[in-house]
A and B are shown apart, each in its own frame.
Chain A
Amino acid sequence: MLFNSIEYLIFLPIVLIIYWTLKANYKNQNILLLISSYVFYGWWDYRFLSLIIFSSFLDYYVGQRIEEAKEQKHKKRWLLVSLCSNLGLLGIFKYYNFFADTFAISMSSIGWEVNDLTLNIILPVGISFYTFQTLSYSIDIYRNQIKASRDIVSFFTFVSLFPQLVAGPIERASNLIPQIQNKRNLNLTLLKTGVFQIFIGLFRKVAIADNLGVYVDSVYANYEIHNSSTLLVATIFYAFQIYFDFSGYSDIAIGSAKMFGFKFNRNFNFPYFSKTLTEFWRRWHMSLSFWLRDYLYISLGGNRKGVIITYRNLLLTMLIGGLWHGSSWNFVIWGGIHGLFLSLEKYTFSALKIRTFNTFGYLYTFIVVLISWVFFRAPDFHSASTIITELFSFNYGSLFIGDINAFVNGLLLLLIGILIDLKIFRSNVTLEDYGIRFSTIKLTFIVSVIIIMLCLFYSTAENFIYFQF
C-alpha cells in the first residue's frame, strides 16, 4: 500500500479509530498494529509476508539465545546465525542475480563461457530496511546495549510496524521496542506536529518530487540526444526529486507514527544545506548513515586503528552502503565517490587543521552529490559515463523543455519546496517539531492550502523511489 494512495487515506483513519478505541490495553493495540502492518504489506504481495515473519521469528529467538549465552563465543555463534540468515536472505533476493551476472561476465572475459545463472527473482519490497532493523536488534543485544524482547507480539510489531516497514526510517530497537512495550498517548504536540508532517510529506512527494520526475524521466530516457545544459538541469532536478521523494516518504512515515503515539527518529535534516560531505551524511537518510556508522564502520575499527585503516573503513562502508541501495555497479560507484570524497575531506581537515569549509563548501558538497546522483539515476554504467562525459564537455546549448506545463510546474514547485526548507532551516526548529508553532486554526488553514496545492499539482508516479531498495 502506498502512502499517497486512496487506500492509505482510508486505511489510516480506520486503524487509528480502532487503535485509540483499544487505548485501555496497549497489548491489544499492539495486536492491531501487527495485523494492520501485515495487511499494509500484504496489499503489495502477501506471499512475501512469510519472509518478514521468518526474519522476525529468527531474531526473536536468536536475541534471547545471545542474551542467555554464558560465554562470549556462544554469543558470537548465535550472532553469526542472525547475520548469516538475514544477510543470506537479502543476498538471495537482492544480490544473487547481480553476482551471478558479474561472475558470468568475468568468466567470459577470460574466455570461459558460463551458462546463464540468473534466476527470475522478485525483490521483496522493504527487505533491505527490515533486514537492517532486525540485524541491529541482535547486534545491540550482543553488545549488551539492550535486553532481548520476551514479548513476541511487541517484537513482531517492532519489525513490521507499517509506517516504517517498507522504506524506513530504520528504527533502532532501543528507541522503538520500549515505546511498543509501554502505553502510548496522543498529546497535542504529537497531533499537531504529526498532521503537519504528513501533509508536508505529501506535498514534497506528490507535488514536488513527482512533477520534477516527469522532466527527469523524459531526459534520462534519451540521454544520448541531449546537450550538457539539459543533462545538467535534469540531474539537478533529480537531486531534488530524490530528496523530496524520500524525505517526503519519511515525513509521512514519522507523521503517521505520531498519530499512534510513537516517536520515530528523524531521517532528513535539510541535507543540501551542508558545507561538507561529512555533514551531508549526517543530514541525509540519517537512519541508514548512523546504522552504517554504528554497525559497519565502527565494527571495522572506525578511526581507532590508524590513518590508512580509517580511510579504508570509510571507503568500504560507503561502497557497501552503495551496494545496499541496489544490485548494480552504479550504486557501488555512487558509494565509492562518496567514500573517496569523505576520505579526502578527512585528510584535508586534519592537514589544514580545520573542522569545516567556508560558504564555498555548500557549492562543493552539492557538486559532488550531484555528480554521484548521475550514477544513482542512470540505468547502467555506460549511460552514466556518457552523461558525465557530456556534462563535462561543456556543450551548453539551448535547453530541452519537453512538456512545458510539466517543466514549469516542476520548477515552480521546486522553488516553493526550497523556500519552505529555507524557512524551517533558518527557524532553528526541526521539521519534526515545526507543527507545534501553529494554532489549530492556522494549522488547518495550512493543511487546507496544501490540499488545494495537491489538487492543482499532484502528479501520478507509480512508486516512491526508495521502494526499489
Chain B
Amino acid sequence: MNSDITKKIIQIIVLTLVISYGLDKLVFFSLNKVSDKVMTGQAIGKLNHFLSLKDSTNLLVFGNSRANRHIDVAMLSKNGFNMGIDGIGVAYNSTLINTLNKDLKQIVLVHIDTKNFFDNDYTGSDVNALKTKFHRNPIITKVLDSTSQLSTLQKFYYSMNYNGTSIGILKNYFRPNYNFKSYNGYDGLVVTSSQEKIRDIVLAKSISNKECTDNHQINTTALNYLKSIKSFSEKAPNKTFIFITSPIYHDTCEIDNKMLNEIMQELNLTYTDFTNLYKDNKDNSYWKDATHMSNKGAEAFSNHLLQKYKSFQLKQ
C-alpha cells in the first residue's frame, strides 16, 4: 500500500464522515419538521396527539396494544384519551406518565401485563419508541440518557431516531389515517365474518394444559419503572392512579398473577387483575385472538371497569 492509497483512504473516511453527517442532519431536521405536524398513526402521530392534549383531559389510559384495544375511553369519560401503543411495556408508560403535569386533577389508568414483569429478557428497550423526542422533550431525553438505551452511533447519526418510522410519518403527513380531532386513542378490533373461522382456530390453539413453567423471578428493570410511576403518583396527589391487567382468553399460568398482585399490594398501589374475568365465558365473539379482545369484548370490559370504579367517578 503506497502513500497515494493511504491518502485516498483518509480522503474516503473523512469525506464519508462529513457528507454522511451533513446528510444525517438534513434528514433528521426535515423529519422533525414533518413529524411535528403529524397527529395520526402509531409511529409518532399518537404520541404527538397525546403530548398536545395530555393537560386537558381528565382520564388517561396507558399500556400496550391490549390497553389500546380493550379500554374504550368514550365509555368511561367524555374527555379521556387512550395512549395504548403496540408492543410497549412499563418503561415507555412510566416515561410518559412522568411528563404529566403533577398539579392537574386526572385519573390515570395504567394497564400492566404480568408477562412484562416476569420476562427475563425485558430491558426497558420499549422506551426507545420515544427516541423521536430525544433532545426535544427534556423528560424523555433524561430517561433515554440515563438508561443508555440509545447506541453510541445514535449520538452521531440522529436520523437513527427515526428508524423504521420515516415512511409511516411521511404517509401520515400527506395522507392522515383519520381526523385526529375526533380520535380518543381507542382502536377497537372488528372481527369480520371471514375472520371468525381463523379466530376460532387461534383461540383453540391457545388452550393447552401444559404445566406452568414460566419464569417467576421479578424483572428488576420492570419493577424499577413501576416504582417510578409510584414515586410520581406520590408527588401528584390530585391524580388518581388505577392499575389493571385486562382479560386474556386462556391463562396458562396463575403463579405470576399472584406474585404481581403481592408486589402491587406491597407498593400500596390500587390494582385489579382481570386476567380471568372471562375465563368461564367461552363466547369467542369477545375475542380477536388469544390476547386481544374484539370491540364487542372491549365494550363489555369497559362497561365492567365503569361499574367497578364507580367510586372514582370516571364518567365526568
Contacts and interface: CB of A to CB of B under 8 A. Distances in A.
A449 B24 CA distance: 9
Given A443-B12, A452-B27, A408 B19 contact: no
A191 B202 contact: no
A225 B163 contact: no
Given A225-B198, A448-B23, A452-B24, A441 B5 contact: no
A389 interface: no
A224 interface: yes
Nearest to B165: A405
Interface string B21-57: 0011001000000000000001100000000000000
Nearest to A445: B19
Contact of B159 (A408, A441, A445, A456): A456
B52 to A, nearest CB: 22
A449 B27 CA distance: 11
Contacts of B104: none
Interface in A204-243: 222, 224-225
A452 B4 CA distance: 29
A389 to B, nearest CB: 16
Contact of A191 (B8, B86, B151, B171): B8
A456 B163 CA distance: 4
SS of B interface (majority)? helix
A306 interface: no
Size bracket, chain A contacts: 35 or more
Interface in B1-25: 1, 4-5, 8-9, 11-12, 15-16, 19-20, 23-24
A146 to B, nearest CB: 28
Contacts of B15: 440-441, 444
A444 to B, nearest CB: 4
A455 B24 contact: yes
Given A23-B1, A191-B9, A441-B15, A451 B164 contact: no
B157 A444 contact: no
Interface string A143-179: 0000000000000000000000000000000000000
A354 interface: no
A405 B167 contact: yes
B276 interface: no
A451 B157 contact: yes
A435 to B, nearest CB: 11
Q: Which of B152, B153, B157, B167 has the most CB of A within 10 A?
A: B167
A216 to B, nearest CB: 16
Contact of A186 (B5, B160, B194): B5
B29 to A, nearest CB: 13
A457 interface: yes
Given A225-B202, A408-B168, A451-B157, A458 B20 contact: no
Interface of A: 6, 20, 23, 185-188, 191, 195, 222, 224-225, 261, 397-398, 403-406, 408-409, 412, 440-441, 443-445, 447-449, 451-452, 455-459
